[in-house]
Amino acid sequence: MTETTLKLGVNVDHVATLRQARGTDYPSVVEAALACEAAGAHGITIHLREDRRHIQDADVYAVREQIGTRLNLEMANHPEIVEIALDVSPAEVCLVPEKREELTTEGGLDVAGNMNALRDPVRRMKDASIVVSMFIDPDPQQIQASATLGAPCIELHTGTYCDLPPNERGPELERLVKGARQAHELGLQVNAGHGLNLANLPGIFDVPYMDTLNIGHSIVAHAVMVGMPVAVRAILDAMTPYTGGKP
């Protein structure tokens, strides 16, 4: 496998989904995370939801303790979850919107409309040396608000792009390109994720300055058929053509 300029964070939430469906103690989220690392993943992402539908509190602590790469904890701005994040001290937290009735995260966080509510948790996590990322749509106002708030990183929501038919993705791709350029000019690290899979991944390679892709559901689904190491390596191999958005 050729080394890629892009980093891969594997989201293992849906290993926990499978476990929770039967109320068993398997499959192990930790084992899955370690298998992803062994296959070359640069980090592990987990989302501790308020309703605990998949990842549980104990999973967060166990993964944090046992992995050797970076833990990215996705979370809503909820007081209980903020306290857990501060106690666990992951390498990074990614603040996301969250609704109980949604199947998965729908759209980006409204940073611009929630500056007052976000200011204190962002400050507290930065004081704890946790990198703070904002999961946002490629909207100029949201990107500027993230920078104003002091978050050093954003994760561009690629779900809208991925959900469109291939022949209709052009305008959304341009939004992602412009968003990444704006973020870079503001000094923000640019990550991206949501809905990415082997089929649609090459289409976002025009987006410049991307540092990390966070991919979960498609990897776990592929792993059911071929095993986690093969599924992770397939995504890593697919990422190798990325040239930073340059021809």
Q: What is the DSSP letter of 245?
A: S
Residue 156: its H or E element: strand 153-157
Q: Are 184 and 176 in contact (CB under 8 A)?
A: no
Half-sphere exposure of residue 156: CA atoms within 13 angstroms, side-chain side: 35
Which amino acid, 103? L
- Residues with Cβ within 8 Å of residue 86, at least 6 apart in sequence: 124, 125, 128, 130
- Choice among 14, 54, 157, 194 that is catalytic: 194
**Active-site residue, 54 included:** no
Q: Closest by alpha carbon to 47, among 7, 6, 90?
A: 90
Residue burial 158-196, b: 16+ Cβ < 10 Å; e: rest: bbbbbeeeeeebeebbebbbbbbbbbeeeebbbbbbbbb
Q: Are 138 and 179 in contact (CB under 8 A)?
A: yes
**Active-site residue, 157 included:** no
- Choice among 47, 54, 157, 222 that is catalytic: 47
- Choice among 37, 74, 155, 172 that is catalytic: 74
Phi, psi of 156 (to 5 degrees): -75, 130
Q: Closest by alpha carbon to 11, among 77, 94, 83, 89?
A: 94
Catalytic residues: 47, 74, 194
